[in-house]
């Protein structure tokens, strides 16, 4: 993967797709999003396929590196990953950075608001999440989740949820 995408100062309002209500990327090296708003985007069934997975209300990506800096995610909706659905494909080391973001009132029907899905068990051990100086409030049932073992670094993040524990880790 050699492609990189960097975007800054956008506003995605009311987007709709079955994967990534606002942004969908696959097989790329780095996705960097700065100073961007994601408001009321939805990952819903937009095809005639029965029972599709509706993933990533704001962002669905398979990028090796994901950097989300000073972004705002409000009222996005998905089955899993109301804010972000991260699904990398290979087993190389991955880095996810969420810095200075506001994530408020996103909705999920199951799973977690920021969802990491590892294709291979080895991959889940090679992913590093850095969540720094960000605000999470009333977003779904569970805020953060990973599908296997992995490592989260959370610093100066305000986690305020009303339904369940703010940090959710499943070993399924």
Helix (H, G, I), strand (E, B) or coil at 31: strand
- 74 Cβ contact partners less than 8 Å away, ≥ 6 residues apart: 37, 38, 39, 40, 102, 104, 105, 106
Q: Is the distance from CB of 62 to CB of 90 less than 8 angstroms?
A: no
Structure tokens that stand for 23 in this block? 């942004």
Q: For residue 142, what pLDDT band results from cuts at 50, 70 and 90?
A: low
pLDDT at 45: 77
- Alpha helices, DSSP H, located in 9-120: none
Task: Give dist(CA 8, CA 35) in Å, integer.
Answer: 6
Residue 49 has pLDDT above 70, yes or no: no
Q: What is the mean pLDDT of the chain?
A: 76
Task: Give dist(CA 38, CA 56) in Å, integer.
Answer: 11
Residue 52 has pLDDT above 80, yes or no: no
Identify the sign of the CA torsion 86, 62, 102, 77. negative
């Amino acid at each position: 993967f050699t492609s990189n995408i960097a975007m800054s100062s956008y506003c995605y309002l009311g987007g709709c797709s079955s994967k990534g209500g606002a942004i969908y990327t696959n097989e790329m090296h780095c996705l960097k999003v700065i100073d961007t708003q994601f408001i009321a985007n939805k990952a819903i069934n937009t095809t005639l396929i029965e029972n599709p997975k509706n993933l990533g209300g704001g962002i669905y990506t398979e990028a090796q590196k994901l950097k989300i800096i000073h972004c705002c995610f409000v009222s996005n909706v998905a089955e899993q990953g109301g804010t972000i659905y991260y699904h990398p494909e290979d087993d190389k080391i991955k880095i996810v950075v969420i810095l200075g973001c506001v994530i408020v009132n996103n909705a999920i029907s199951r799973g977690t608001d920021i969802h990491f899905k590892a294709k291979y068990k080895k991959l889940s051990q090679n992913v590093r999440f850095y969540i720094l100086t960000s605000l999470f409030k009333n977003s779904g049932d569970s805020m953060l989740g990973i599908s296997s073992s992995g490592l989260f670094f959370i610093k100066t993040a305000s986690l305020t949820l009303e339904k369940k524990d703010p940090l959710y880790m499943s070993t399924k």
